Structure 1
Amino acid sequence: MSRELSEEERAEFANEIERLRQEHRDLDAAIDALMAVGANDALQLQRLKKRKLALRDRISFLEDTLTPDIIA
């Protein structure tokens, strides 16, 4: 049983999605930069990739929340 989101909540979610997408892009650039310079810090790369996946999951959750369920 889910309730419909208010316009304010929808705007907050949309803002959070955009912020998370930017952080996701920034992490992508950081990972690429570390790999390009040949940094062998596997733990750091693993942490960045794990954070990137967590962001993707959160973005997906918020997008699913904003998209109304359509019963086909």
Structure 2
Amino acid sequence: MDGREVLRFKLEELRRRHRSLDDAIAALEHSVAGRDSLDLRRLKKQKLALKDEISRLEDELTPDIIA
């Protein structure tokens, strides 16, 4: 397995975790107790960090093309 394959594998895992956090946030937002919750903010912060990492890996995998 070369470096690019490893990055692709890691990228897919991060995307799965991001979707999982999306589901957890939606469930928490629909619960009465979760409307203004510290847990909700924590999950959103984790989701944002994952999004940043996903973007970084996508940039690393996509070659820069100078037109």
TM (norm. structure 1) is: 0.85
Amino acid in the other structure paired with 1:22: R
* Percent of aligned pairs sharing the same letter: 56
Aligned to 2:56: 61
Q: Does 1:43 align with 2:41?
A: no
Q: CA deviation at 1:37?
A: 1.6
Aligned to 1:32: 26
The SS at the match of 2:33 is coil
Q: CA deviation at 1:39?
A: 2.4
Q: Please tell me whether Structure 1 or Structure 2 has the larger radius of gyration of its CA atoms.
A: 1
Q: CA deviation at 1:46?
A: 0.4
Instruction: Specify every segment of 5 or more residues in structure 2 that has no aligned partner in the other structure, as ranges.
Output: none
Task: Specify which structure has the higher proportion of helix.
Answer: 2
Q: After the TM superposition, which segments of 4 or more aligned residues of structure 1 sit over 4 Å from their partners?
A: none
Q: Deviations over 1:17-47 (max 9, x none)?
A: 1000000000000000111122235210000
TM (norm. structure 2) is: 0.91
